[in-house]
Amino acid sequence: MATQYINTSTGSRYHYSSPFTVSGGTNRLLNYFSVKQLYYSNHEVGSDVLNTSSSFDNYIESSLSVSGSRKLDSNGSGIVFSIPRNLYGQNLEPNSIKISSTSTPYWNGGTITDDGEGNLKFGNDHVGNVIYSHGQLIITDYPYSFHFSHSQDPDIGFKSNLPIYTHTYNIKVSDYEFNHTLNSTGQKNSTVNEYSGSRYVVPSGQYTDNITGSAFQPYITTVGLYNDSDELIAVGKLAQPLPKPADTELTIQVKLDV
C-alpha cells in the first residue's frame, strides 16, 4: 500500500474542513453536531468518561479500554477533515496518518500522527481522533485547530485499504472436445474474404499434411469467458501453450481480479 496525499486547500474538491467556533468557518453547526452525534454522543462533553449503557454506536476504533474514551471540547472547538471513500477504500490504514504544517507557533514544522488505536497525537499530546472506517480526521484540541485552520493548509498523508476481490472459474474440457486446431495456418485451401474493408480467413477444415497424423493434438493458448448472452467479456492468455489431451478431461482454472 502506497502513501497517498490529498489537497486540503479551500478550493480543492476534497476540502471539508471547518472550525466549529472560529469566525469565518463554514458549516460550523452542521460539523459540530454531526461529529458529536456520530462519534462522541456516548461520552460526557468536556470529559473522557464513556457511557457504556448507551445503545448508540460511536464507532470505537479499538478494543483497548484506554482508547475507548474520547473528549470533545465543551466549547465546541475543533476541525474535521473528511477523506473521500474513493481515496481510502475500505478504511484508512492504522498507523499511517500524517498531518503536517509549517505554521507557527503551535505547529512549527511538527507532524500529527495516529497511534493505530484511533487517537491523533502531536508528540505526546492527544489532539484528536481518527475514524478509520469512515475516513474522518477530527482535531479536538482548540489551540492546534485554531492555527491549523487559519495560517496554512496542511499536508495529509495516509495509506488506503482497497480490497481486491478474486473470482475463480474452473473450465472443464472433455476428452472429445477441441481436438482439432482452429488456426488457419494449420489448414490448407482456406479462402480469404473481405468485409467492410477488412480481410479475414475462412478455414477450409482440411488440415495440412504435416498435422494429419494420429499423434497430433492442438495446443490451447487462449481462454475466453462469456456471459449468459454468449457475449465475450474477458480473454485470458496462458503463460505457455497447453497441449490438449485427447483421452482425459482437462480443467483450466481462471482467476479474475476486480
The answer to whether residues 120 and 225 belong to one domain is no
The answer to whether residues 99 and 189 belong to one domain is no
The answer to whether residues 16 and 95 belong to one domain is yes
The answer to whether residues 45 and 149 belong to one domain is yes
For 83-134, write each residue's pLDDT tens digit. Answer: 998 899 899 999 999 988 766 545 556 788 999 988 898 888 888 899 999 9
- Nearest Cα to 8, choosing from 77, 78, 82? 82
DSSP string computed for 8-46 = -STTSTT-----SSSTT-SSHHHHHHHHIIIIITTB-TT
Domain boundary among 127, 161, 195: 161
The answer to whether residues 42 and 118 belong to one domain is yes
- Grid cell 464513556 is found at 50
Amino acid type, 47: S
- Give the count of domains, the chain: 3
- Nearest Cα to 142, choosing from 125, 158, 167? 125
Residue 120, classed as helix, strand or coil, is strand
The answer to whether residues 28 and 135 belong to one domain is yes
The answer to whether residues 18 and 104 belong to one domain is yes
The answer to whether residues 124 and 202 belong to one domain is no
- Domain residues for 191? 184-213
- Nearest Cα to 221, choosing from 190, 256, 186, 182? 182
The answer to whether residues 129 and 190 belong to one domain is no
Return the C-alpha torsion angle 35, 36, 39, 42, nearest 10. -170
- Nearest Cα to 146, choosing from 19, 5, 237? 19
The answer to whether residues 79 and 188 belong to one domain is no
Residues of the chain with pLDDT under 70: 1-30, 43-56, 63-69, 73-77, 102-109, 142-153, 182, 203-205, 212-215
This prediction has a pTM of: 0.58
The answer to whether residues 119 and 244 belong to one domain is no
- Nearest Cα to 175, choosing from 244, 242, 246, 243? 246
The answer to whether residues 144 and 241 belong to one domain is no
